A and B are shown apart, each in its own frame.
Chain A
């Protein structure tokens, strides 16, 4: 996984402001990924801290991936997919909705700060929304500092 290698580059910044959060975005291929493309085409600027992982549907994202992401050293995870009703596979995001309401509760119960894990519906035409969601997410995470919880320090 390409994410594997660049995660090893420890941020040797000179001070807290030099620290750059690393955020993983699971983008559903049919909507959010298209939305991200649109944001790029329309030259909408957003911070470069996100790594986009394209998935066929937001329903494909397994809570194990989210847990593994925090272990591998990410500071925030966003699962983004089509609005309920727009899903290319018709019901994918309905399962996502239930599954990630519950996963968020479990992560909070474990002590992970709630803002670090978000789920958003971003359709293919909502380029600006993608930019706005990512920018806000990076701001929030930057304010919280690096995530030490569940991080694999070995």
Chain B
């Protein structure tokens, strides 16, 4: 038991992210309402973003804006003092991708609603079969 605690402390973050991802993935696959699926999709994407952001974390480090100005002095920058900026950059892109996908998906959902007057997938399929 005593060996387990450091493992848990070191990894519990990752486990919770994966739980969150799976909530989103489940909603995407199993939900019946098209907008609910979209919410699931966004949860899935944000939790992946969370995973990436946490890769960049360093214990005891500060935000990745270099201390500058006249009082900063000219000493070299120690990378251990600042968190890793690369995942942040990647995730800015991912957030933008997710909002773009959301926009197109909602446009499609409105188009579908205009045609079938419902957002439930099974009702739409039933209507299609009836035709």
Instruction: Say if A and B assemble together.
Output: no
B residues apposed to A, CB below 8 Å: none
